[in-house]
Structure 1
Amino acid sequence: MTRAHAHIPSDAGDATAEDGSVSVVGISAIGMSELGQKARTALARADVILGSWRQLNLLSEDITAERRPWPSPMLPALPRIFAELEGKKIVVLASGDPMFHGIGSTLRRKFPDMPITVYSHVSSASLACARLGWAVDRTPVHSLVTQVVESLIMPIETGRPFLVLGRDEKSPGEICALLNQMGQPHARVDVLNDLGSEDEAHSSGTAARPPAVISALNVIAVIPERAGYPRTPGLPDATYSHDGQLTKSHMRALTVSAIAPREGEVVWDIGGGAGSVAIECLRVTTTTRAVCFESNELRQQRILANARTLGVSHRMAVQGSAPESYVCVPDHPDRIFIGGGLTAEGVFMGAWERLKVGGTLVANAVTIESERLLWELKQTFGGELTRIEIAKEHQVGNFSTFKPSLPVTQWVVVKKPASGRKNP
């Protein structure tokens, strides 16, 4: 197929579906009566129409194309489906706006070279905001169609209203259960069912007294009771379940700042301990992913539990010991933090070889042996060393003093192309 493009028809008579083309038509719960002429023409000329049974049943009888429902699960079947339909005029049905948490975005991601024409409709989020009197441009929207309910922990912690696209009739109950678990039983929860259809219904309640759920097609509006943890790094140490293997709060804030994770990147945390550094790298972003390497199985479980509590478990993976487990991770990291095991054979070099060119590696050292190694590595690879000393208030009888923590030497280095490396 030709290079990817998203065609936008210019007028009502411009829908000229060609063999092998794919049109994505957004359709509301009320059916075809609200479709424009371009979308209607695409449907009339289609050979095959793909969609859920609910969407396919919204089509009028004069649409003669083969109606094919999506299999379950859908995503793994997409390459096979479109291979089978090669050369046919295809229409894919979407709920509302196909490019808003919809199948249009999925197809663009899965098939970047596929020529797609998108016919948008008003999104369910826009309809929900209209019913609630909320400003669309100021209302965050999240989805449980592809994410776990724990992904809503950070949105809840903002303390600000937001919308959730429900997966099914169980979604409102899952959200209420999460709010109760977070100690917010009085958070307001509204369920807007079948938006835009003749069966549209709106019910209100709280986490402790959940609203009625009438349909599997729902949007949930949430108004939290209060704000929770901030996104800034350096959460209190008591936030984490740990056995003492924890990068402490102030050092953690400095370390996350040195790692400087960006959206869409992959972060490796080697010697994960409680997972606090990786977790806070994820909390300061929304699309970053992290992999923790930890040999101790009990700590592995703690890392996952801490990630669930702090709302990032859906973006976190835990592997075994380093460097043996590096090969288990297909993605090359953009950022690497080594907080433990620095002097073990192969830990640094294996990580450095996997790090992308232009990526950043941060290593913290406390012992003389690991500090000496950092000095040697700096001579070879460059970068910058910083000695960090932190002292906290400490009570001595009726007086106060400062009790210093062990000083930490931190090395930050950016991986340059091979020609840019210094000689040993």
Structure 2
Amino acid sequence: MSEAPWLTIIGLGEDGPDGLSPASRAALERAEIVMGPPRHLSLLPDLAAERIDWPVPFADGVQQLMALRGRPVCVLASGDPFWFGAGSVLAGRLSPGEWRALPGLSSFALAASRLGWALDRTGCYGLHAAPLSRLRPSLAPEARMIVLLRDGAAVAELADLICDAGFGASRMVVMEALGGPRERITEAVAHALPATGFAHPVCAALEIAGDGAVLPLASGRPDSWFDSDGTMTKQPVRALTLSALAPRPGEHLWDIGGGSGSIAIEWLLSHASLRATCIEPRPDRLARIRANADRLGADRLQLVEGAAPAALEGLEAPDVVFVGGGLSQALLERLATLPAGTRIVANAVTLESEALLTQAQATLGGELMRIEIARATPLGPRRGWSAAYPVVTWSTVL
């Protein structure tokens, strides 16, 4: 029989030792050291093992754990350590033979069992250390979601976010210490949440209701979703640009000349695995981009202050590049040095920028497209077409 791994990651519920499997009990009895948050450690029975409180920030505990390599160690986590838990972080630092996991019931499973909800049709969010605004793209009537929260105070913050978005009629079910002797369930409507002190650990289930604005799923969201000083890729052109950028899971975008950040934000809204870095020389626009991204649940957007191409040095290489501003010959020459397979999309409005793209297409290949859009507007007592400046788009694959 092969030797047991030195590290065992144990998912512990609020019922403490009563919910432990025989394998988890055996691992704890064998361990020389047990690490975990103080609340988890307090749930354990008497053990011979040394107990170590997991420090804050979390990363400090990872370093402390690595120093114990080779000794029998148990790490305690909540419920299922691989669902918004510490499991993946620890496993990523170790080889497969060094660890094993003994998960417990996740908070999502416990919540669904109280509500009678199908988890495969319910949004599940772990927002212990992430902004509540990540829910904003999913707020729509009849949507269901279960949200793991930082602490009791976050329950009122969640209700405020829901109400501010126009969904104050949503049903909220607040669940504290699920599965343990302190379990308490409080049901309310978001706009009438009782002024009750909620205790950690806590999660909230939401059934969204109300007439708030719903963020569309398709690219080319209305311009009104983005605060702007006027420098922004407008909705129809943005929809075509996102189509040309063609996001694929896991890809990283450089958005050069961010303006309002609308391209990078819509890129991130396409899929949770996507990443984006926005390069913008003006601090006031960077602040606006940050506010737009945070409000729309795209807080993972990375910002870089500076003008391209100089500001590109040292950045992680992209899979896709969009140039919405600051187009120059020097920038095009820098982009030409990116790895083979990198996709590039650039928009131009001025004649000078259009000439640069024409030359780039002749040198590097790809496609040129001219986009001309006109809208019907009042013309005296009648209506006429009001044309926007034409946009030339160049797209290529290096």
- TM-score higher than 0.5: yes
- Give the 3-state SS of the residue equivalent to 1:346 in structure 2: helix
CA contact (8 A) 2:141 2:209 kept: no
Deviates more, 1:64-73 or 1:310-319: 310-319
- Give the 3-state SS of the residue equivalent to 1:107 in structure 2: helix
CA contact (8 A) 2:11 2:103 kept: yes
CA contact (8 A) 1:17 1:46 kept: no
Q: Which residue of 2 aligns with 1:222?
A: 206
- Give the 3-state SS of the residue equivalent to 2:80 in structure 1: coil
Deviates more, 1:125-134 or 1:265-274: 265-274
Name the Cα RMSD after superposition: 2.0
After superposition, the Cα gap between the structure-2 partners of 1:110 and 1:400, relative to the gap in structure 1 and judged at 3 Å, is farther
Q: 2:197, 2:205 → 1: CA distance? A: 13
Select 1:182's aligned residue among 143, 154, 165.
165
After superposition, the Cα gap between the structure-2 partners of 1:337 and 1:307, relative to the gap in structure 1 and judged at 3 Å, is same
C-alpha deviation, 1:372, in angstroms = 1.6
C-alpha deviation, 1:119, in angstroms = 0.7
What amino acid is aligned across from residue 27 of structure 1 in structure 2?
Answer: L
Matched, 1:298 2:284: yes
Output the TM-score relative to the length of structure 1.
Answer: 0.88
Select 1:56's aligned residue among 41, 48, 65.
41
Show CA shifts across 1:212-258 (max 9, x none). 34321011111222461112111222222212211111000000111
CA contact (8 A) 1:338 1:362 kept: yes
CA contact (8 A) 1:304 1:318 kept: no
- Structure 1, unaligned runs of 5 or more: 1-13, 416-424
Select 2:312's aligned residue among 326, 341, 348.
326
Q: Which residue of 2 aligns with 1:349?
A: 333
After superposition, the Cα gap between the structure-2 partners of 1:114 and 1:400, relative to the gap in structure 1 and judged at 3 Å, is farther
Q: Which residue of 1 aligns with 2:122?
A: 139
Q: Which residue of 1 aligns with 2:181?
A: 198
What amino acid is aligned across from residue 253 of structure 1 in structure 2?
Answer: A
- Give the 3-state SS of the residue equivalent to 2:43 in structure 1: coil
Show CA shifts across 1:28-78 (max 9, x none). 1011122121111111111111111111111111x2111111111012441
Select 1:107's aligned residue among 82, 86, 90.
90
CA contact (8 A) 2:155 2:204 kept: yes
Correspondence 1:85-104 to 2 at 5 A = 85-104=68-87
C-alpha deviation, 1:388, in angstroms = 1.6
What amino acid is aligned across from residue 54 of structure 2 in structure 1?
Answer: W
Matched, 1:245 2:231: yes
C-alpha deviation, 1:200, in angstroms = 0.6
After superposition, the Cα gap between the structure-2 partners of 1:403 and 1:313, relative to the gap in structure 1 and judged at 3 Å, is same
How many percent identity over aligned positions?
A: 37
CA contact (8 A) 1:140 1:163 kept: yes
Correspondence 1:335-346 to 2 at 5 A = 335-343=320-328, 346=330
CA contact (8 A) 2:155 2:198 kept: no
After superposition, the Cα gap between the structure-2 partners of 1:356 and 1:219, relative to the gap in structure 1 and judged at 3 Å, is farther
Matched, 1:378 2:348: no
Q: Which residue of 2 aligns with 1:387?
A: 370
Select 1:279's aligned residue among 265, 273, 278.
265
Matched, 1:17 2:1: no
Q: 2:98, 2:330 → 1: CA distance? A: 46
After superposition, the Cα gap between the structure-2 partners of 1:254 and 1:229, relative to the gap in structure 1 and judged at 3 Å, is same
Select 1:151's aligned residue among 115, 119, 134.
134
